[in-house]
Amino acid sequence: MTLADAQPQAISFECETGNYHTFCPISCVTWLYQKIEDSFFLVIGTKTCGYFLQNAMGVMIFAEPRYAMAELEEGDISAQLNDYEELKRLCLQIKRDRNPSVIVWIGTCTTEIIKMDLEGMAPKLEAEIGIPIVVARANGLDYAFTQGEDTVLAAMVQRCPTKVPEMEKEERNAISKLLNFGRKKEEVATEESQYVDHPPLVLFGSLPDPVVTQLTLELKKQGIKVSGWLPAKRYGELPPLDEGDYVVGVNPFLSRTATTLMRRRKCKLIGAPFPIGPDGTRAWIEKICSVFGIIPTGLAEREAQIWESLEDYIQLIRGKSVFFMGDNLLEISLARFLIRCGMTCPEVGIPYMDKRYQAAELALLEKTCQEMGTPLPKIIEKPDNYNQLQRIKELQPDLVITGMAHANPLEARGITTKWSVEFTFAQIHGFTNARDILELVTRPLRRNNSLKNLGWEKLIREEANS
Amino acid sequence: MKLAYWMYAGPAHIGTLRVASSFKNVHAIMHAPLGDDYFNVMRSMLEREQDFTPVTTSVVDRHVLARGSQEKVVDNITRKDGEEHPDLIVLTPTCTSSILQEDLQNFVDRAQLESKGDVLLADVNHYRVNELQAADRTLQQIVQFYIEKARKKGDLPTDKTEQPSVNIIGISTLGFHNNHDCTELKRLMTDLGIAVNEVIPEGASVHNLKNLPKAWFNLVPYRELGLMTARYLEQEFGMPSVDITPMGVVETARCIRKIQSILNAQGVDVDYEEFIETQTLHVSQAAWFSRSIDCQNLTGKKAVVYGDATHAAAITKILAREMGIRVVWAGTFCKYDAEWFREQVSEYCDEVIINDDHGAIGDAIAKAEPAAIFGTQMERHVGKRLDIPCGVISAPIHIQNFPVGYRPFLGYEGTNQIVDLIYNSFTLGMEDHLLEIFGGHDTKEVITKGISADSDMTWSKDGLAELNKIPGFVRGKVKRNTEKFARDRGIEVITAEVLYAAKEAVGA
């Protein structure tokens, strides 16, 4: 152990059996339908898919969500019914009831297996009913949880408009003009002049609107103008993308989207760590600045100030260990942030590791470990939950970040857990939300502090055969 | 294809998993894609289960799609056999695996050669049966397997127990109030001097299934789970069964009388009439409640009832027969059991609805304008929207329907619980109504919600826009904190940037 500590090592990657618990990628509809306000998501699958969505989303389902199942019946599977006619019937019903600006078809395992040609049918039906139909194959055969968003955004990339002529641009800006109504022309002009002259930059990744504002403002402080977000609040507001435009991701699970942006739209990808934690946010901004030849101002102070405000929470976790079982692909960034907070991390489980898309994040992780003098975590791709539980039993980490299937059983065995899905739904990006991450991470530890000395940590009897 | 937002009964494999994981030391392996193991989350969260749910997935991925599962399923079964030594592994097909049409039985046969435990393939068709039917079938399948196994080995006990005894069939994990019902039924049996031979599947060991024929009769409290098993045992061993759900005063008495006649037919001389009378008059408060003026006030009030066949039928009868409430319509989503349901409730309600489309049910509620709804969580939400109180009487359910406190629906204590549930639903509705007539409680609007003009601070357009994105219940606090932050620093106009700077500074 001492030998390993003394020598700088490279991160080790392992791949296990893929027997792990995660959410089905179709779960992305629940946050994407809320993000893209004029969309309707149609999941083409079976009762199993529907039951998952219904149970995973709890109360949301009652709020008349803009998503539904096209539930396949036996006649659909055996091709006794005509897929095209069936989908047309349902989409017309959706058009009548909800009148969305776009219908997103989510292909599932079943449509894959029966080889339903969604991509082929969509353009035909789109022309017939007059609503854009975007096809995303977010199925459990190929993807895990958050990767669902990746497949949807990659499909959306194709729908982004190209360079808009100046005249039209004026029109597109009609809304901002409206907002600027009553303000003097010079004022608007000075606002424009606050930005450095740089090529267009588009950010990709779905974030809650307040976080979009925060990150946009953060870049504005460096004179960087965000010309658009993929996705935008409305389908009609998808950002224009042209050859040579710069793009940067805000989430670690967007590798297909990044690839599509580069290959299909000839955009230039800025490979940066992700703006999760103050360290990540600073590195993200610095990388964008460096690409545009800007010297960032006030970043170091800003980061220091945020760290200072986190100190009360960091005190609770410093020196403690955290184990990621892995299910949402945020694991590398969160581990890097928590190691910077003074935690140690023996293992980072992750469903899928794109070493190219996450290269800068991995480099920052390595650097963070060196600077903090902590050993590098083992990164386990496609983990095996059973094996992981054996390792957890052996290591007795102070905190296990895991899915709900394991949380209660681990708690009953005296292992403190944090439910990982919360990180997907909470606001965790940028300087402003660093505290929210720690709020989540420390919650079980604060709970432990308030309940200590009750002697109830372990509630199950030791297994006789262990 | 069917446009569906919500379903009342889950897919078939959920039923199989519910039965398998109810048994002790039985492991289920799903042949399914990643993410289909959502059952584990439900069990761990809803039941607040302390143990790991004994369900794993043999993952169907791209490779499996291309080449078939080959050794994978067999390996997963033998691996689990070695790791946890379950008595039985149930290979569970899902919608995905049923269209792949792999020969799962062959995998099971091969895995059986290497496994110490038993291996079974759940025999359920995903596209023809739902969760409840699949659960019923799986339980029967497992029971039959172990009866036949014992018979082959020649260690099937044939004698009845000395004292009258019963098997309670159909108690399962994730069932509505099942564990409380089970306790209540055991208590009832003890009071009747009947020994409980076996309870299945919850908490049972498959090794004990061969003892099922030792009981004098079977009690199947729920319509949805256990009837197939009871029928099988009747065919094989001539065991009589009681399938009257002891829910409500009248039905509990009917159930006990049926037990009495079954036992007497087997040569014991029992008379439970006195017991029924004592319980009805002194233990259950339901009979007294129906005489009390509280209940009088409910006379003729309109209610609608919807749920699984068991609960919807029982509650309908209680409302109409025991409380004098008018049930405008009673409905169930158990379409496959429609005939039975109709027969049970027809005389106790104006109309019977057999439908599993929540939209149609919602519309039927709106049309009926009842004073109270008794339904599932979905109907509770419809009630919220329409401002009608709702008592939850059936799955699908949320975590609040897995109470820690003792809340049976069956037996004599169950009648007490149901009285509270029904009465509370109605009074709340009444209170609400009176408040409306008299203009609410005597509170004037004390706290101004939202953005008012009562502050000296100026908010820029973008600042206001951001403030409006903050959820209503904390917006006031955020606004105050932000304004304080701005005032302290002499900032005159609050922009979005100031708002977030304030958040960073004070954690607003």
Comparing C-alpha atoms, which of B498, B508, B500, B502 is closest to residue B459?
B498
- Interchain contact, B34 vs A70, CB within 8 Å: no
User: A105 and A135 in contact (C-beta within 8 Å)?
Assistant: yes
pLDDT at residue B163 tops 90: yes
Predicted local distance difference test score (pLDDT) of residue A144: 94
pLDDT of amino acid B448: 43
Q: Could you read off the pLDDT of A383-394 as tens digits, one per residue?
A: 999 999 999 999
Q: Amino acid identity, residue A219?
A: L
pLDDT: which is higher, A449 or A154: A154
Confidence of residue A450 (pLDDT cuts 50, 70, 90): confident
Segment A112-124 shows an average pLDDT of 94
Q: In this structure, how many other beta carbons lie within 10 angstroms of the beta carbon of residue A294?
A: 16
Question: Residue A141's closest chain B neighbor by CA?
Answer: B61
Can you give the pLDDT at residue A136? 97
Q: Residues of B with CB below 8 A from A20's CB?
A: 34
Q: A163 or A48, which is more confident? A: A48
The conformational region for residue B387 under phi > 0 = left, psi -120 to 50 = alpha, else beta, is left
Distance CA B103, CA B108 (A): 9
Residue percentage of chain B with pLDDT more than 70:
94
Q: List the beta bridge partners of residue B183.
A: none
Dihedral sign computed on CA atoms, order B358, B359, B361, B362: positive
- Residue A16 at interface with chain B, using a CB cutoff of 8 Å: no
CA distance A147 to A142: 9
Q: What angle do CA B34, B35, B41 make, to 5 degrees?
A: 140
Cα distances (angstroms) measured from residue A145 to each of A56, A347, A350, A405, A410: 12, 20, 11, 15, 22
Q: What does the pLDDT read at residue A59?
A: 56
Q: Give residues with Cβ within 8 angstroms of B459, minimum separation 6.
A: B451, B467, B493, B494
Q: Please name the amino acid found at residue A277.
A: G
CA–CA separation, B429 and B422 (whole Å): 11
Q: Show the tokens assigned to A214.
A: 């925060």
Assess contact for B414 and B422: CB atoms under 8 A: no
> Which pLDDT value is given to residue B446?
41
> Are the beta carbons of A23 and B130 separated by less than 8 Å?
no
Among A294-303, A344-353, B277-286, which stretch is predicted with the lowest mean pLDDT? B277-286
Lowest mean pLDDT across A186-200, A224-238, B191-205, B304-318: A186-200
- For the question of residue B271 being annotated catalytic, the response is no
> Quick check: A48 contacting B, CB < 8 Å?
yes
- Could B496 and A213 be called an inter-chain contact, meaning their C-beta atoms sit closer than 8 Å? yes
Whole-angstrom distance, CA of residue B242 vs CA of residue B258: 7
- Residues B75, B87, B294, B356: which is the catalytic one? B294
Contacts of A408 in chain B (CB under 8 A): 44-45, 48-50
Cβ of B33 within 8 Å of Cβ of A21? The answer is: no
Q: What value does the mean pLDDT take over residues B307-320? A: 97
Reported residue count of chain B is: 508
The CA distance from B2 to the nearest CA of chain A, in Å, is 5
Q: What is the mean pLDDT of residues A118-147?
A: 95
What is the structure's pLDDT at B5? 83
Kindly provide the ipTM of the predicted complex, given to two decimals: 0.88
Interface touch B128/A74, C-beta < 8 Å: yes
- Residue found under tokens 């050794």: B71
Q: Is B116 exposed, middle or buried (0-12, 13-18, 19+ CB in 10 A)?
A: exposed
Q: How large a percentage of chain A has pLDDT more than 70?
A: 89
How near does any CA of chain B get to the CA of A148, in Å?
Answer: 12
How big is chain A by its Cα radius of gyration, in Å? 24
CA–CA separation, B466 and A54 (whole Å): 31
Of B104, B100, B134, B98, which Cα lies nearest the Cα of B120?
B104
Distances in Å between the Cα of B35 and the Cα atoms of A106, A127, B7 are: 15, 34, 19
Please state which of the ranges A10-14, B239-243, B391-395 shows the lowest mean pLDDT.
Answer: A10-14
CB contact under 8 A, A113 and B126: no
% of chain B exceeding 90 in pLDDT: 69
Q: Give the SS3 label for residue A324.
A: strand
DSSP characters over B332-392 = ES-GGGHHHHHHHHGGGEEEEEE---HHHHHHHHHHH--SEEEE-HHHHHHHHHHT--EEE
Q: How confident is the model at residue A465 (pLDDT cuts 50, 70, 90)?
A: very low
**Looking at CA atoms only, how far is residue A218 from chain B in angstroms?**
9
The residue ranges of DSSP E strands in A333-449, in sequence order, are 344-350, 378-381, 399-402, 417-419
| pLDDT at residue A460 tops 90 | no
pLDDT digits (tens, 9 = 90+) for B468-485: 888 777 788 888 888 888
Q: Which of B13, B16, B96, B475 to mutate to test the interface with A (most CBs of A within 10 A)?
A: B96
Q: For chain B, say whether A253 makes contact (Cβ under 8 Å).
A: no
- Partners of B49 on chain A (C-beta within 8 Å) are 408-409
Mean pLDDT, residues B185-202: 97
The contacts of residue A367 (CB under 8 Å, 6+ apart) are: none
| Residue A148 φ then ψ, to 5° | -55, -45
pLDDT of residue B473: 72
Give residue-wise pLDDT tens across range B432-469: 666 666 665 554 444 444 444 556 678 888 888 888 88
Query: Does position B335 have pLDDT exceeding 50, yes or no?
Result: yes
Q: For an interface test with B, which of A62, A74, A466 has the most B Cβ atoms less than 10 Å from its Cβ?
A: A62
Angstrom distances, CA of residue A12 to CA of A272, A355, A378, A389, A399: 21, 12, 5, 20, 22
A210 touches B at CB < 8 Å: yes
Decide if A406 touches B, using CB distance below 8 A: yes
Whether the CB of A68 is below 8 Å from some CB of chain B: the reply is: yes
CA separation, residue A100 to residues A70, A130, A374, B495 (Å): 16, 11, 51, 33
Q: Which of B6, B95, B497 sits opposite A46 (nearest CB)?
A: B95
Residue with tokens 């590791």: A353
Name the nearest CA neighbour of A92 among A125, A68, A61.
Answer: A125
pLDDT for B63-91, tens place per residue? 888 888 888 999 999 999 999 999 999 99
Distance CA B344, CA B326 (A): 16
pLDDT category at A456 given cuts 50, 70, 90 is confident
- A258-272, A283-297, A376-390, B91-105: range with lowest mean pLDDT: B91-105
Reference A145, options B150, B35, B456; nearest CA is: B35
Interface of A with B in 112-131 (CB under 8 A): 112-114
Q: Please enumerate in sequence order all residues whose Cβ is within 8 A of that of B193, keeping only pairs 6 or more positions apart, or say none.
A: B163, B164, B270
Residue B423: partners with Cβ closer than 8 Å, 6 or more residues away = B289, B294, B295, B298
Of B50, B396, B507, which has the smallest distance from its Cβ to A409's Cβ?
Answer: B50
Strands B2-4 and A67-71: antiparallel
Contact criterion met (CB below 8 Å) for A125 and A117: no
C-alpha pair distances (Å), A222 with each of A201, A213, A229, B3 = 13, 15, 18, 49
Please report where in the chains the tokens 């691996």 appear, as a residue: B79
* Chain B contact for A390 (CB, 8 A cutoff): no
- Those residues with Cβ within 8 angstroms of residue A399's Cβ, 6 or more apart along the chain or in another chain: A317, A320, A321, A322, A323, A343, A416, A417, A418, A441, A444, A445
In a 13 Å sphere around the CA of B388, the CA atoms on its Cβ side amount to 25
Long-range CB contact pairs, B59-64, < 8 A, 24+: B59/A18, B59/A19, B59/B32, B59/B33, B59/B34, B60/A109, B60/A141, B60/B31, B60/B32, B60/B33, B60/B96, B60/B97, B60/B100, B61/A18, B61/A141, B61/A142, B61/B33, B61/B34, B62/A141, B62/A142, B64/B100
Minimum Cα–Cα distance from A69: chain B residue: B4
Pick A178 or B376 by higher pLDDT: B376
Find, among A337, A335, A333, the residue nearest to A324 by Cα. Answer: A335
> CA–CA distance from A115 to each of A42, A107, A139, A358, B416 (Å)?
17, 10, 13, 32, 55
Read off the pTM: 0.89
Residue in chain B closest to A111 (alpha carbons) equals B96
Give B424→chain A minimum CA distance, Å.
Answer: 23
Query: CA-to-CA distance for B391 and B376, rounded, in angstroms?
Result: 8
Most B CBs within 10 Å, among A51, A115, A177, A327, to test the B interface: A51
Q: Which residue of B has its CA nearest to A76?
A: B1
Q: Is A463's pLDDT higher than 80? A: no
Query: For the purposes of burial, counting CB atoms within 10 Å of the CB of B3, is it exposed (0-12), middle (13-18) or buried (19 or more)?
Result: middle
pLDDT tens by residue, A5-18 = 444 568 899 999 99
pLDDT at B397: 86
- Judge contact between B479 and B471, C-beta under 8 A: no
Contact predicate A445/A418, CB 8 Å: no
Give chain B positions within 8 Å (CB) of A403.
41
Contact B103, B133 (CB under 8 A): no
Residues 6+ apart with CB under 8 A from A57: A27, A30, A65
Q: What would the mean pLDDT of A316-337 be, rounded to a whole number?
A: 97
Residues A364-369: contacts with CB under 8 Å, at least 24 apart:
A364/A273, A364/A279, A364/A280, A364/A283, A364/A336, A365/A11, A365/A332, A365/A335, A365/A336, A365/A339, A366/A10, A366/A11, A368/A279, A368/A336, A368/A339, A368/A340, A369/A339
* Tens digit of each residue's pLDDT (9 = 90 or more) over B103-147: 999 999 999 999 999 999 999 988 889 999 999 999 999 999 999
* Cβ partners under 8 Å of residue B48, min gap 6: A408, B399, B402
Residue A431 forms contact with B (CB below 8 Å): yes
**Both structure tokens of B88:** 């039985």
Compute the distance between CA of residue A331 and CA of residue A346 in angstroms, rounded to an integer.
13
Contact A110 B127 (CB under 8 A): no
CB-based contact A46 B60, cutoff 8 Å: no
User: pLDDT-based confidence at A4, cuts 50/70/90?
Assistant: very low
User: pLDDT band at residue B158, thresholds of 50, 70 and 90?
Assistant: confident
Instruction: Please enumerate in sequence order all residues whose Cβ is within 8 A of that of B87, keeping only pairs 6 or more positions apart, or say none.
Output: B25, B26, B117, B118, B205, B206, B207
Kindly state the average pLDDT of the residues B159-184.
Answer: 96
pLDDT of B339 over the 60 cut: yes
Q: What pairs with residue B493 in β-bridges? A: B458
Average pLDDT, chain A: 90
Task: Note whether A194 contacts B: Cβ–Cβ < 8 A.
Answer: no
Indicate yes or no: CB of A62 within 8 angstroms of CB of B381. yes
